């Protein structure tokens, strides 16, 4: 049996440069010129910037379209909200991703600060590093409560 890991695993800390760019880890970088999608998001009420591949974004759209027991109007409204909260971007030839200043500030990401990029399988999230510590603690507590008896975490 062969196992193929998802594209985005682990976490990395990097410094955001003065122009609100962050270097994407080499093993996470898409091909030069490939489009990515930024999405404003939250984990446990803490703002972050989610970075999706086109495939991951298409999966989100499909999940909304196929969500059971929803009217066409509800599905359309959810898709409109999804599309209103995204921004197509690409990584430059130096492997850096520009997160516009207004998007950065809404996610508590400041120029020349340390950010944490967290792999989520098909996408990754970018957090202010201090904020990620809170998210990690909450997520760890939730997973340990639900799956602690497995002895994996």
pLDDT digits (tens, 9 = 90+) for 13-33: 999 999 999 999 999 998 877
**Residue 122 to residue 5: CA distance in whole angstroms:** 10
**Residue 41 to residue 57: CA distance in whole angstroms:** 13
What pLDDT was estimated at residue 4?
Answer: 66
Residue 88: name the closest of 29, 37, 48, 33 by CA: 37
What pLDDT was estimated at residue 2?
Answer: 63
Tokens of 5: 């890991």
- Residue 104: pLDDT band with limits 50, 70, 90: very high
Number of domains in the chain: 1
- Residue 10: pLDDT band with limits 50, 70, 90: very high
Q: What is the pLDDT of residues 63-82, one digit of tens each?
A: 999 999 999 999 999 999 99
Residue 131 sits in a domain whose CATH number is 3.40.1550.20
Tell me the pLDDT of the chain averaged across its residues: 94
Q: Look at residue 142 and tell me if it is in a domain.
A: yes
Q: Look at residue 97 and tell me if it is in a domain.
A: yes
Q: What is the span of the domain harbouring residue 64?
A: 11-148
Tokens of 153: 């975490």
Q: Look at residue 24 and tell me if it is in a domain.
A: yes
Q: What is the pLDDT of residues 116-127, one digit of tens each?
A: 999 999 999 999
Contact 16, 110 (CB under 8 A): yes
């Amino acid at each position: 049996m062969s196992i193929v890991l998802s594209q985005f695993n682990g976490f990395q800390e990097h410094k955001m440069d003065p122009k609100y760019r962050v270097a994407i880890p080499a093993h996470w970088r898409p091909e030069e010129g490939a489009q990515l999608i930024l999405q404003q998001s939250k984990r446990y009420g803490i703002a972050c910037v989610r970075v999706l591949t086109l495939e991951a974004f298409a999966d989100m759209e499909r999940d909304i379209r196929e969500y059971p027991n929803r009217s066409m109007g509800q599905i359309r409204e959810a898709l409109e909200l999804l599309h209103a909260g995204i921004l197509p971007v690409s990584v430059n030839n130096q492997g850096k991703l520009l997160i516009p200043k207004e998007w950065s500030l809404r996610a508590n990401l400041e120029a020349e600060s340390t950010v944490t990029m967290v792999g989520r399988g098909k996408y990754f999230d970018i957090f202010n590093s201090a904020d990620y510590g809170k998210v990690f603690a909450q997520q760890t507590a939730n997973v340990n409560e639900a799956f602690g008896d497995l002895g994996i975490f």
